[in-house]
Amino acid sequence: MKINWGTGIVIAIALFMTFILYFVIKVQSDSTYDNELVVEEYYKQDARFGEEMIRVQNAEDLADKPTITTISEGIKIVFPDTFIPKQVKGKVSLYRPSNKKLDFEIPISLSNPSLLIPKSDLAGGRWDINMEWEYEGKQYLTKETIYIN
């Protein structure tokens, strides 16, 4: 049987379409190829972007800023001595870009100027930290990226 060039082109296109459909179906059905959004309500968060930038600027304008560091015990957040620890309220959100199931939040409730997030709660790799806090009626937002070994 002899195949002419028209039939060859149709067969090539059909094989290419089958190849593409195979990968689309594989990615959609296999849980290892997770295609979740980083934020569930993206448009709501985008609408509040202006407020967020004001809080980030408030944090940048501080003479003494809180520090977020990695230590052997985990992640340590230290507020400057100029702050009264009991008046600092807020939350620390830890986002794992590679796995949404590892995300968690910790409320900020201080009796001393530091907050420790234990290493046992953290998987190795990249963590995006968003610290939303309030002091003396003014709101702040500090963002940091930390790598845990």
H-state helical runs in the chain: 5-29, 42-47, 49-60
Higher pLDDT, 43 or 120: 120
Residue 64 confidence (pLDDT) above 80: yes
- 9-23: average pLDDT: 96
Residue 35 confidence (pLDDT) above 80: no
Partner residues linked to 107 by β-bridges: 91
Q: Are strands 138-148 and 125-135 parallel, antiparallel or unpaired?
A: antiparallel
Q: Map out the domains of the chain as residue ranges.
A: 1-35, 42-148
What pLDDT score does 38 carry?
Answer: 60
Q: Residue 88 gets which letter from DSSP?
A: -
pLDDT in tens, 109-140: 888 889 999 998 888 889 999 999 999 999 99
Q: Which is nearest to 145 in space by CA: 129, 122, 123?
A: 129
What pLDDT score does 67 carry?
Answer: 92
Task: Give domain 42-148's CATH number out of 2.120.10.30, 3.40.309.10, 2.60.40.10, 2.10.50.10.
Answer: 2.60.40.10
User: What residue type is assigned to position 139 of the chain?
Assistant: Q
